[in-house]
Amino acid sequence: MKCTICKETITGYGNNAQPINDGRCCDKCNDSHVVPLRIALMSVRHSLVESQSMIGMERLLIKSLYKGEAA
């Protein structure tokens, strides 16, 4: 199985690559990309009132961080 972020071979089960994409990712990409983005999004959610504009801001954040990469 290939990592949907770096395209390297995954050893073991891999990790959920959400919110970067819908596939699986390797441990290295999980630690360096997925988990930090999830933490950043939790901070955004904590700081803002739940609304449609927040969802749009999350999408913009994801696109700006990963434009063209594994989207």
Length of the chain: 71
Residue 9 lies inside a defined structural domain of this protein: no
Cβ burial 6-30 (10 Å sphere, 16+ → b, else e) = beeebeeebbebebbbebbbbeebb
Residue 6 lies inside a defined structural domain of this protein: no
Residue 2 lies inside a defined structural domain of this protein: no
| 14 alpha-carbon distance from chain centroid | 14
pLDDT bracket for residue 67 (50, 70, 90)? low
Give the pLDDT confidence of 34-46 residue by residue, as tens digits. Answer: 999 998 888 776 6
Q: What is the number of structural domains in the chain?
A: 1
Residue 28 lies inside a defined structural domain of this protein: yes
- Is there a contact between 44 and 57 (Cβ–Cβ < 8 Å)? yes
pTM of the model: 0.67
- Does residue 47 carry a pLDDT above 70? no
Give the pLDDT confidence of 9-24 residue by residue, as tens digits. Answer: 999 999 999 999 999 9
Percent of the chain topping pLDDT 70:
77
Query: What pLDDT is recorded for position 65?
Result: 77
- Is there a contact between 6 and 66 (Cβ–Cβ < 8 Å)? no
